[in-house]
Chain A
């Protein structure tokens, strides 16, 4: 009897911990007064730059590699192309905050769920401006909350160098996916990762070194 009570308590404790840790992204951070109402991301914002990255995609244990190319083609739209190392085009999208067009995709990748996932990932990756509603802080970062439909994006800006390090895309209860950026010059990011929390998908982008 006593043993099962202990078990019951233990299970409850685990449940409680699990529930708490499922809570909002900002639970461990201190709310703060807003110091800005919008934030502009520099990393894909220049229409004169061809953004070219060597890319590794790991999806449920399968590895896929190639070249990711993004270019801002007007005020709101980015063209995004993914090719193999040999140059064969695998997909070709046009993405803005509120529009999406598939110019081409090879039949092997032509799955609605995959296209929608990549659309959401790339849209956030290329997003230029966030409107801020709330602010928090940790020891190392200022954290800005920007609404995104019924979800939200949390921007982690380093206190040390003012660079955007991380964007967490989250529902009210769960983190969905996270972008991390490493940038030397705060003009473009040399290394970017997109990691999904609910599906086994990780995308790693490494900027082409200039000669």
Chain B
């Protein structure tokens, strides 16, 4: 009985610790500065990721995983390896897709929405997207982590994404999780792991 109560207290207090608290203004400016300093240092970044698609009516989240590679200023490859091979490269105003060997390209040159998505992905991974003109941003902290929540101001973007949540490791000031909430209660959660910053990455990686 005693152990049960002890466990219960542990559980409750654990939950309390895990809970998000709003940051103070001083904490916000400190946090933003840390993230910006870290993001500015990023010339290249590669990371493994696991994507969990949550739909309320499903028994299990749909899990896909792969690798993401970024090189300054705007080269990006997003590569799914499991359970299928699908790779998408953002490069010189083009989207190059390789879907299990089937290749295609989309010219996004002047497409505003794609330009925004590109910026969004790079911003999400590097953490540097504190743009008050684009988003209404709120800041939270929990044990070992900082969380920034972005609500798009643009109506076109808002149709697809209700809110973006970036979770940062407190020590490293880098993004460990991206959560994209859709207009309904469904979301996509992407966990970033095995991050390598500023390793040498050749431009030829960004071909598809």
Contact = CB atoms under 8 A, between A and B. Distances in A.
Interface in B25-71: 51, 53, 55, 57-60, 62, 64
Nearest to B156: A107
Given A83-B53, A208-B83, A88 B160 contact: yes
Which one of B51, B78, B188 has the highest number of Cβ atoms from chain A below 10 Å of its Cβ?
B188
Interface in A162-202: none
A87 B51 contact: yes
Interface string B167-208: 000000000000010111010100000000000000000000
B83 A89 contact: no
Given A67-B53, A206-B84, A211-B83, 13 more contacts: A52-B62, A54-B84, A56-B99, A56-B102, A63-B99, A65-B86, A69-B55, A69-B58, A85-B64, A87-B188, A89-B184, A106-B160, A211-B82
Contacts, number: 60
Interface string A74-103: 000001010101111100000000000000
A86 B55 contact: no
B21 interface: no
A113 B159 CA distance: 23
A69 B84 contact: no
Interface residues of B, number: 28
A146 to B, nearest CB: 29
A69 B62 CA distance: 9
B107 to A, nearest CB: 14
Contacts of A50: 58-60, 62
Interface of A: 48-50, 52, 54, 56, 63, 65, 67, 69, 71, 73, 79, 81, 83, 85-89, 104, 106-107, 206, 208-211
